[in-house]
Amino acid sequence: MTPLDLADLRQEYMRAGFSETDAHVDPLQQFERWMQDAVNASLPMPNAMTLATAGAGGTPSARVVLLKGLEGDGFVFYTNYESRKGRELALQPEACLVFLWTALERQVRVEGRVERMPAADSDAYWRSRPLGARHSAWASAQSATVPDRGTLEAALERARARYGDDPPRPPHWGGYRVMPQRIEFWQGRADRLHDRLLYRLEGGAWLRARLAP
Ligand SMILES: Cc1cc2nc3c(=O)[nH]c(=O)nc-3n(C[C@H](O)[C@H](O)[C@H](O)COP(=O)(O)O)c2cc1C
């Protein structure tokens, strides 16, 4: 087998620029524009984002989750409150999100405090989920070790038998909202001289600055 040569994998970023005059004064509206572009470009899973949290002692951990909306000016995702990320967020309610839209040569980075969604919102989203996903949320103690796949499938069967067509939302499952303090938009440019615009929330107003690539 030929060895993988990653060092020579290179791409020039040529698609577009992103300047202060293009950028909306409100970063949430700017984010919606870029998300709409990603949806219009039919990118696979445009709402997938890397979620980084910090464990005890500041050890970072990251995984991909799906953005389910922008609500109350926050970035919303749903998960298990007792998962690794849930336990880390209980201790350190701050997170960083990264969106990567490779075909558009764009990245967005969001940093902020994290709060749980109100129970009524989690209930409403829970009811919109496919039935199988709702049974799985009961069957899977997310992030716990399990002996084998059969154990999970047996737990799913038990959840189906117990809750039937209308499983209630488990107390350990619901939404979080990342309330942004910083949002950075990155657009790839030629010769690695990329455009980076950073918005920082200060005293209730968004300030904008350009960062060196
Ligand atoms: C494309 C994609 C989307 C995902 N969406 C979610 C999600 O919305 N919520 C979730 O809890 N896990 C989601 N996952 C699984 C997580 O990446 C992760 O495995 C899980 O949440 C457990 O993470 P933890 O052990 O760090 O808590 C997704 C994974 C992928 C690859």
Residues recorded for the chain:
213
Query: What integer is the mean pLDDT of 64-81?
Result: 97
For 56, counting Cβ atoms within 10 Å of its Cβ (0-12 exposed, 13-18 middle, 19+ buried), the class is exposed
3-state secondary structure of 212: coil
Residue 146 belongs to a domain: no
Nearest residue to 185 (alpha-carbon basis) of 32, 41, 72, 62 = 32
Residue 51 belongs to a domain: yes
Strands (E), 133-172: none
The domain total for the chain is 1
Residue 203 belongs to a domain: yes
Strands (E), 14-152: 48-54, 60-66, 69-71, 74-80, 94-101, 106-116
pLDDT band with cut points at 50, 70 and 90 for residue 2 = confident
CB neighbour list of residue 24: distance below 8 Å, 6 or more residues apart: 30, 33
> Does ligand 1 have an atom closer than 6 angstroms to the CB of 48?
yes
The alpha carbon of 87 and the centre of ligand 1 are apart by a number of angstroms equal to: 14
> Does ligand 1 have an atom closer than 6 angstroms to the CB of 85?
yes
pLDDT band with cut points at 50, 70 and 90 for residue 3 = confident
Q: What is the pLDDT of residues 175-198, one digit of tens each?
A: 999 999 999 999 999 999 999 999
> Does ligand 1 have an atom closer than 6 angstroms to the CB of 141?
no
Domain that holds residue 38: 27-129+172-210
Query: What integer is the mean pLDDT of 154-174?
Result: 98
Is 192 in the active site? yes
For residue 77, which atom of ligand 1 is closest to its CA?
Answer: 8
Query: What pLDDT was estimated at residue 162?
Result: 98
Whether pLDDT at 1 is above 80: no
Average pLDDT for the chain: 96
Residue 91 belongs to a domain: yes
pLDDT band with cut points at 50, 70 and 90 for residue 206 = very high
pLDDT band with cut points at 50, 70 and 90 for residue 209 = very high
Q: What is the pLDDT of residues 17-42, one digit of tens each?
A: 999 999 999 999 999 999 999 999 99
For residue 51, which atom of ligand 1 is closest to its CA?
Answer: 17
pLDDT band with cut points at 50, 70 and 90 for residue 14 = confident
Better pLDDT: 4 or 152: 152
| Catalytic-role residue among 33, 158, 162, 192 | 192
Query: What pLDDT was estimated at residue 23?
Result: 96
- Cα–Cα distance measured from residue 96 to residue 2, given in angstroms and rounded to the nearest whole number: 37
| Residue of minimum CA distance from atom 11 in ligand 1 | 79
Residue 10 belongs to a domain: no
Residue 81 belongs to a domain: yes
Residue 198 belongs to a domain: yes
The alpha carbon of 7 and the centre of ligand 1 are apart by a number of angstroms equal to: 29
Q: Checking phi first, is residue 45 left (phi over 0); if not, alpha (psi -120 to 50) or beta?
A: left
> Does ligand 1 have an atom closer than 6 angstroms to the CB of 65?
yes
Query: What pLDDT was estimated at residue 108?
Result: 98
For the chain, the C-alpha Rg in angstroms (whole number) is 20
Residue 107 belongs to a domain: yes
Q: In this structure, what CATH number is given to the domain that contains residue 102?
A: 2.30.110.10
Task: Give percent of the chain above pLDDT 90.
Answer: 92
